Amino acid sequence: MALERLQDYCLTGTALEGEFIVDDHAHMGPWNNFNVPEGGSAAAMVRSMDTLGIDVTIASPHIAIGPDYLEGNRQVAEAAEQFPDRILPYITINPNYPLEEIEAEIRHWHDTTGIKGFKLHPSLHKATTLDDGYTPVYEYCQEHGLPILSHCWNGEGGLEKVIATLSERYPAVSFLNAHSSSTWEVIEQNCKVAREYEQYYLDLAGSVLLYGGLETMVERVGAEKILFGTDVPFIDPRPGLGRMLCARISDEDKRKILGLNAKRIFGI
């Protein structure tokens, strides 16, 4: 039986029901020096989702953002086949490889599984989001109106200049910024860019939970610009979900952040 308020699910330790919850920022597999239960397997992640009431997790395996993006894409496609409608793959691209290989990888997943979105990690791939190796990603997303989640939007001129450049070149693309609430400085900077650029969205995944941070973000940019993410299994998803459910914002805004925004942006 559905509880009266969303925060009551957290306060009573009850799995969410009757809601549509999307984790827009997840990984899979082990990570160096981190305790990842059951090696971050897809099955373990789905059990965690069931415990909390999360319907869909959009994932990019650790190996994809690390040493082998091709293997990572294969692993998450396999997980999505094993758990249809529960795990949704990000396609990850490493811009340091030849353009022919990158273009072939995009074509492969377009033809075999379809693509809902891309995950970029320029920091681990020692790149910037303006590198030529990412051009096939932007062009594909522009053609198909797809979102891109990036660990950061770095490049010459800084965040605002990069988003200005990309928004002008690719007006059909949604640019999702990971870890947008990690510090007050980060919140201020990202809210400024989100107010200025319609295509720029803020992801909540992270290990730092600032008291009042989420409420400030909703006040500055509106709940429509914010997406719920956990970084699971790199980070335990429970604190982030608890913060969401107990935030001092309306249940209507919580529902937008928890799943309705992702449903719209990813076409789920």
Q: What pLDDT score was predicted for residue 2?
A: 72
The per-residue pLDDT for range 169-187, each reduced to its tens digit, is: 999 999 999 999 999 999 9
DSSP, collapsed to helix, strand or coil, labels residue 194 as helix
Q: Which amino acid is at 155?
A: G
Assigned CATH topology for domain 19-266? TIM Barrel (3.20.20)
User: Residue 208: which pLDDT band, with cuts at 50, 70 and 90?
Assistant: confident
Q: Which amino acid is at 54?
A: I
Is residue 57 within 8 Å of residue 90, measured between CB atoms?
Answer: no
Q: What pLDDT score was predicted for residue 32?
A: 87
Q: What pLDDT score was predicted for residue 107?
A: 98
User: Residue 144: which pLDDT band, with cuts at 50, 70 and 90?
Assistant: very high
Report the alpha-carbon distance of residue 117 to residue 62 in Å, rounded: 17
| pTM for the structure as a whole | 0.96
* Per-domain residue ranges of the chain: 19-266
Is residue 261 within 8 Å of residue 218, measured between CB atoms?
Answer: no
The per-residue pLDDT for range 47-73, each reduced to its tens digit, is: 999 999 999 999 999 999 999 999 999
- In SS3 terms, 82-142 reads as HCCCCEEECEECCCCCCHHHHHHHHHHHHHHCCCCCEEECCCCCCCCCCCHHHHHHHHHHH
Alpha-carbon Rg of the chain, whole angstroms? 17
Residue 35 has pLDDT above 90, yes or no: no
Q: In terms of C-beta density within 10 A (0-12 exposed, 13-18 middle, 19 or more buried), how is residue 84 classed?
A: exposed
